[in-house]
Amino acid sequence: MPESDEFFDREENGLEIIKKEAGVMKTRGLIVVLISYLFLFPSFAQSQPDRILEKLFEPKIHSGDLRVLQLEMNPDPVREGQWVSFQAAVSNRSHHSARVSLFVKDRDEVVTGVHDVLLKVGNNRIFFPQTQYRFSRNEYCFTVEVDIERTRRPIDVVKEFCARRTYQGWSMNAPRVGPLFVEDLDITPDPVSPGQEIRFKARLRNDGSPVRADIRIQDRDQLVARLNDVILHRGHSEFLFPYTRYQFQRFDHCFTVVVDVERTPYRVDAAREFCARPYGWTLRP
C-alpha cells in the first residue's frame, strides 16, 4: 500500500474517533442538564410557595354563593331556660361542594355552630347542636355566618328570622305585632250606676304592621268585653265594644286591654292605669 493511502486511512479513523467522543460528550451534557433541572425545579417551587399554594387550595365556594332559605327552632315556642336546637336550609348556588363551618348568631353573639360540614351543590339541610341559650328580650333576629378558609362572612337570607315573645314562650312562627299602646279607655255612661249597661271605647296605637286580631278588656282575669276579628291598622284606631252588664262590686276595678293575634295574646302597654273606683265608678283621671 502506498504511503499516502495509509496516511488517509489513519486520518479517517481519527475523525471517526473524534465524532464518537463528541457524541458521548453531547449525551453526557444532556444528562447533566436534565439532572440539574430536576434539582433546580423544587428550588423554583419553593421560591414562590404562597402563590403556588393559593392556586392549589383556592376556595371553590364563596359566601356570596350561599343563601339561607329557612331557619327553624325546636321546640317552638321555647320557654326561658329550655334547651333549643336550630335547623337551617342553606342553598349553595356555586358549582362546587365544600366543607365549611356555620354559626347561628344573635347580633354579635354565637348561639350555636357546626364545624366541617359538607355543603353540596343545591339545597342543604343543616342541623345545629342543642344550646341552652337564654332568651330575655321581646325579639331575637338571628343571622347565619359561614367560615370558609378561616374567613367568616354573613350569609344572605331570604327574609328575617326572628323569635318573638308570646305568652307561651319565644316563637319564630309568631307574626310581628306592634308595639301596641292603649292611649285611652272610656266607659259609657261615666260615672256608672249599679246595674247599668256599660259600653267601652278603646283608642289604640299600632306602631307595627296592620294585623287582624281579637281585642279583650279584662278586669284582672275576668273577661269584661270582647271584639272579634278586627283590623288593627298602623297608627291610631278607635274600637267601640258591645254593651255589657258588668257588676262593679270591689273597691276598685282596673281594666287591661289584651290583643289576640292567631290565638296568641300580646302585651299592650298603657299610657296610664284605667281604674274605676267606687266614687261614682268613673274612669276619668
Question: Domains of the chain: which residue ranges?
Answer: 3-56, 63-171, 180-276
Q: How many whole angstroms separate alpha carbon 42 and alpha carbon 65?
A: 36
Would the CATH topology of 63-171 be identical to that of 180-276?
yes
Q: How many whole angstroms separate alpha carbon 4 and alpha carbon 25?
A: 32
**What is the fold, at CATH topology level, of the domain defined by 180-276?**
Immunoglobulin-like (2.60.40)
CATH of domain 63-171: 2.60.40.10
User: DSSP letter at 83?
Assistant: -
Q: What is the pLDDT along the chain (285 residues), one digit of tens a residue?
A: 454 455 445 545 554 555 555 554 555 554 555 455 445 555 444 445 444 444 444 457 888 889 999 999 999 999 988 999 999 999 999 999 999 999 999 999 999 999 999 999 999 999 999 999 989 887 899 999 999 888 899 999 888 899 988 777 898 887 677 788 888 888 888 887 777 788 889 998 988 778 888 999 888 888 888 999 888 888 898 999 998 888 777 767 888 888 888 777 777 878 777 877 766 677 776
Burial 168-204 (b: 16+ CB within 10 A, else e): ebbbbebeebbebbbebbebeeeebeeeeebebebeb
Q: Single out the residue of 177, 181, 144 nearest to residue 66, CA to CA.
A: 144
C-alpha 118 chain-centroid distance: 19
